Structure 1
Amino acid sequence: MFQHARRLVLSLGVAAMAAFGALAPAAQAQVPYQRLAQTSSKYAAIVVDAKTGEVLYENRADALRYPASITKVMTLYLTFEALASGKIDLDDRVVFSPRAAAQAPTKLGVRAGDSISVDEAMKALATKSANDAAVALAEKLGGTEQRFAALMTLRAQELGMTNTHFANASGLPDSRQTSTARDIAILSRAVMRDYPQYYKLFSTTYFNFRGQQLRNHNGLLHRMYGVDGLKTGYTNASGFNLAVSAVRDGRRLIAVVLGGPTVASRDASAESLLLTGFDVMNRRARGEDIRVAQNFFEAPITMASAQTSREQGDNDDGDMKIVLASTAPPIRASKIEIVEGKKAAQGKWTVQVGSFNSRSDAKEQLAIVEKKFGQHFRSAKGLTEKAGGKYRSRFSGFTEKSAKAACQALKAKKQPCMVLAPSA
């Protein structure tokens, strides 16, 4: 039985599937590239169900990596936020300062003092990954790129990207600019969830700008059925990165691959991960109760060792253990209000478990957290609060000790959490 199951695994081990059936020829064709990708010391990957957030596969998903130009997804997220709030319009002008115009390629090559529209700037980021346009947008929205980067980091923390720090808006090399495959997947989900009206920007295949036809760098967008975003990235330090999403049969998956040694190996790795993920989802839809649980035993990445990992690479490829197991269907959060009928809370500390564009999403997050972590939130009061155009999911009534314990439990399961002290 074990040997039969192993035949269903891609030979490099990018994903595992349970019970009968054959792999698609397209997935098998990518195996040589896949092996090359996984032997890279910078490699990290994750596959996520975009609707539920369930992780279908992960490999070094929390190891610190350089995001490179995937950074621009957050730059665009804050731009979408400004558009949705009415702070800016698509036709507003984005002036290029001398600093913006001087950015390294890839770039539009707009001269200092010249300007383009917000719409053109967004398309330049999504297709050509223009660094000069990213800095010009950052300066328009934040005053300075440094201030805008601080806003990017703050929003990342609110979204649950707890291991991410931004130092610039473009992704150009900076040792302070780090993220993880898991955090990039969280950001990808947030863009789709919060700004569906702008997400289609990432599916732009070509952008005509002043007589030039700029081609989107995302190769899978041009050749893989169902792919409609998101973003590529590359620096010498990061290797070849890709955050990609695809839809098939009404189901959407997100794959993040970081640190590929070549464009071809990165794209092949992401394609195989998506193909296998869709196969798993289809089998579930037919009633198979399966889950993919594949673990690579690695030394944990700590803050003390992060710099060494960034400079020298993580040389521990680890031993692979494949676990095929049955599992209950993903949790579906209840829409019920959970703030009524609770035991009176005693403390004055608060725990924030998410930040969303809609009140309904914020309430749903409260229900999910209470269901999965009830022992820590049983005596707390769940509520949603609107601030800065966002709806915060919060539980109040903690003591300092119980708030920190609850937050620690959530973070142990890679859930967003923030402890808030009582107001003065």
Structure 2
Amino acid sequence: MRIRKLLCALLGAVMMTVCITPPGAEAYNFTPYVSNDDGETKPIKIYSEAVYMVNTDTGDVIVDINADEARVPASLTKIMTAVVCLEQFKDDPDQLKEKYVHGDNTAFDELYGTGASTADIQPFEDVCYYDLLCALMLPSSCEAANIIALNISDSIPHFCDLMNEEAQKLGMKNSHFSNAHGLFSKKNYSSCRDMAILTQYALDTFPVFGEIVSKPTYNLPPTDEHPDGTLIVNTNEMLDETSDYYYSPVKGVKTGTLDDAGRCLVSTASMNGKNYMLVTMGAPLYKEGTEEPEYYNLIDHKAIYQWAFYHLVETDFINVNSEITDVKVEFAEEGDSVNLKPADGFKRDWPDNIKLKDIKKDIELYENVVAPVYEGDKLGTLTLSYKGEKLASVDLIATSSVDRSKSDEKVRIAKSFFSSKEFRLCVGGIVFLFVAYTSMFIYKLQHKYVKRPADDEDDEDYE
């Protein structure tokens, strides 16, 4: 009896552990759209070849278009350069503004004649790390990237080793870095999802990163080379109130542009308590059929954010207090079933043009449930899906306990004994012994009354 109670207690503990596990939500890829006054919708034209959007509050993936495809990241590379730099000052961020460094010709020689973006920092000009990071992230200064790399490490290749170690640590599966500035190299690549992982880490870990990347402009203080200081401007015009691309919900983060990469952008945006991150890569550089530049990366971001803020609604698909169904319980003291409810609720952003009635709910219940049942025991699963794609899976748990019937238990024990292997072996043994005894008895009986021929011969000789 003690063993049985112990096993039941352990089973209850295991069930409770299962129940507190969050529901298994799946990524679902939406197609952004616009609607007219009549409520009709049509997909947004997206120019970027790869797109990844995530709700940073919930982790829900909203849009995924080639998000894991390794691509040329251009100056998005500088986000990793900033992270490796900030890792060195994690314990003392004030040192970013107190420690001054410079770059010798090694930091500049490879950049001459490339048209690389710059903040006009000169060889041997002393600049603090904070100002280098501003130059790196706002005007996308390539010399700032090399100066950081050569002062954090003894060479750019060794600095790239630090970048790749960081990428591996963060689980960036489709990334490799071979320089600090993002100029084209076959061995310098990343993906939209990886850049989202990296950027979220930077924002969560280093408050100064979010502070810097949200600046529309910044004044580099005076130096010997620049006595009046230097005004630097963020390449992300979505932060510029005077720009046609301005979009007030956007808070940063970084642009990237190369012939081989197209126009790229990582940004974050917040409105009405909603927070998103959007990464796009591979937007065209020019208007179709012309050599007129067009910032299709900025156009994509504004259009997708507007769709998310105005057409995605936080929807409660499963209420944790709702009663879903009953499951039959054998050998119950009272009644013959127990009610089930979700172990956890489930809600997520959902487009307002998809009706909830189109969400399919599949319930799978355990078979042969036998009392006792304890409140919180997992006895089934509820799965939500839309057009064959799984949205979430939630455990169904008992809302109350069910005791075992004593009389039913005795009957069950008796029935189980007569159907048990042991009983069959016992009956088989008895039958075997009975047959063996009967055979032996018959054999002895026949032997007693049958006269052997040898006995007859002995009698004749005697006469």
TM-score, normalised with respect to structure 2: 0.54
Number of equivalences: 280
Write the mapping of 1:17-416 to structure 2, written as runs, cut at 5 A: 34-35=45-46, 37-38=47-48, 43-86=49-92, 88-102=95-109, 103=111, 104=114, 105-209=116-220, 210=226, 211-222=229-240, 223-262=246-285, 263-284=294-315, 326=359
Q: Which amino acid aligns with 1:162?
A: K
177-186 vs 79-88, greater mean Cα deviation? 79-88
* Identical-pair percentage: 24
Q: Quote the residue 2:436 is aligned against.
A: none
Q: CA RMSD of the aligned region, Å? A: 3.5
Q: Which amino acid aligns with 1:68?
A: A
1:89 is paired with a residue whose SS is: helix
Deviation of residue 23 (structure 1)?
A: 9.0
Deviation of residue 257 (structure 1)?
A: 0.9
TM-score, normalised with respect to structure 1: 0.59
Q: Deviations over 1:278-313 (max 9, x none)?
A: 2355443899966569xxxxxxxxxxxxxxxxxxxx
2:96 is paired with a residue whose SS is: coil
2:266 is paired with a residue whose SS is: strand
Q: Is the 8 A contact 1:200 1:228 kept in 2?
A: no
Q: Which amino acid aligns with 1:56?
A: I
Q: Which runs of 5+ in 1 are unaligned?
A: 1-12, 294-321, 329-370, 375-424
Of structures 1 and 2, the one with the larger relative CO (CA 8 A, separation 6+) is: 1
Q: Quote the residue 2:419 is aligned against.
A: none
Larger radius of gyration: 2
Deviation of residue 175 (structure 1)?
A: 0.8
Distance 1:68 1:23 in 2: 38
Distance 2:177 2:171 in 1: 14
Deviation of residue 196 (structure 1)?
A: 2.5
Q: Quote the residue 1:350 is aligned against.
A: none
Q: Is the 8 A contact 2:253 2:268 kept in 1?
A: yes
2:315 is paired with a residue whose SS is: helix
Distance 2:277 2:39 in 1: 23
Distance 1:185 1:323 in 2: 30
Distance 1:219 1:327 in 2: 43
Distance 1:215 1:260 in 2: 22
Distance 2:57 2:104 in 1: 40
1:204 is paired with a residue whose SS is: coil
Distance 1:237 1:174 in 2: 10
1:90 is paired with a residue whose SS is: helix
Distance 1:323 1:81 in 2: 46
Q: Is the 8 A contact 1:16 1:292 kept in 2?
A: no
Distance 1:21 1:292 in 2: 20
Per the alignment, do residues 132 and 248 of structure 1 end up closer, same or farther by CA in structure 2, a change over 3 Å counting? same
